[in-house]
A = this chain, B = another copy of it.
Amino acid sequence: MSQNPRDNFSSPDLIHFNNAGASLMPRPVVQAMIDYLNLEAKIGGYEAMGEANPKIETLYKNLATLIGAHEDEIALFENATRAWQVVFYGMDFKEGDTILTTSAEYGSNLLGIIHQKKMKGINLELIPAEKTGETSISALEEMIKKRIPKLLAITHIPSQGGLVNPVEEIGALAKKYNIFYLLDATQSIGQMQVNISKIKCDALCATGRKFLRGPRGTGFAYIKKERLKELLPPVVDMMTADWGEGMDFKLRNQARRLETWESSFAGKLGLAEAIKYALNIGIEKIEKRVVHLAEILREKLGEIENITLHDQGKIKSGIVTFKIAEISSQDVCKELFKRNINVTYIPKEHFPLDFKIRDLTDLVRASVHYYNTEEEIDRFIQVISQFGELNS
Interface residues of A in 233-255 (CB under 8 A from B): 233-243, 246-249
Whether A45 and B21, one on each chain, are in contact in the complex, defined by CB atoms closer than 8 angstroms, is yes
Q: Which of A21-58 contact B (CB under 8 A)?
A: 21-27, 29-30, 33-34, 37-38, 40-47
Chain B residue at minimum C-beta to C-beta distance from A116: B236
Q: Which of A22, A82, A89, A237 has the most CB of B within 10 A?
A: A237
Say yes or no for A337: interface residue by CB 8 A criterion: yes
Assembly stoichiometry (copies): 2
11 additional A-B residue pairs with CB within 8 Å, beyond A79-B261, A114-B248? A8-B42, A11-B42, A29-B41, A107-B238, A108-B237, A115-B249, A217-B264, A234-B235, A242-B349, A243-B352, A267-B267
A265 interface contact, C-beta 8 A: yes
Query: Chain A: interface residue count, which band?
Result: 35 or more
Which A residues form the contact surface with B (CB < 8 A)? Answer: 8-11, 14, 16, 18, 21-27, 29-30, 33-34, 37-38, 40-47, 78-82, 85, 89, 107-108, 111-112, 114-115, 119, 124, 207, 209, 215-219, 232-243, 246-249, 260-267, 337, 342, 344, 349-350, 352-353
Closest to A348 in B: B243
Residue of B with least CB distance to A236: B115
- With CB as the reference atom, state the residue of chain B lying closest to A19: B44
The docked-state distance in angstroms from the alpha carbon of A21 to that of B117 is: 41
A216 & B342 in contact (Cβ 8 Å cutoff): no
Contact of A264 among B38, B78, B238 (CB under 8 A): B78
Shortest beta-carbon distance from A368 to chain B in Å:
13
> Which of A18, A30, A240 gathers the greatest number of chain B CB atoms within 10 Å?
A30
**Chain B residue at smallest Cβ distance from A88:** B235
Cβ-closest chain B residue relative to A79: B262
Q: 13 interchain pairs (CB within 8 A)?
A: A27-B41, A34-B34, A34-B37, A37-B215, A45-B216, A46-B342, A80-B262, A89-B234, A108-B236, A114-B247, A114-B248, A216-B263, A217-B217
B262 near A342 with CB under 8 A, answer: no
CB distance from A117 to the nearest CB of B (A): 8
Contact of B262 with A219 in the complex, beta carbons under 8 Å: yes
B261 and A9 contact, CB distance less than 8 A:
no
Contact status B262-A207, CB under 8 Å = yes
CA distance A124 to B85 in the complex (A): 27
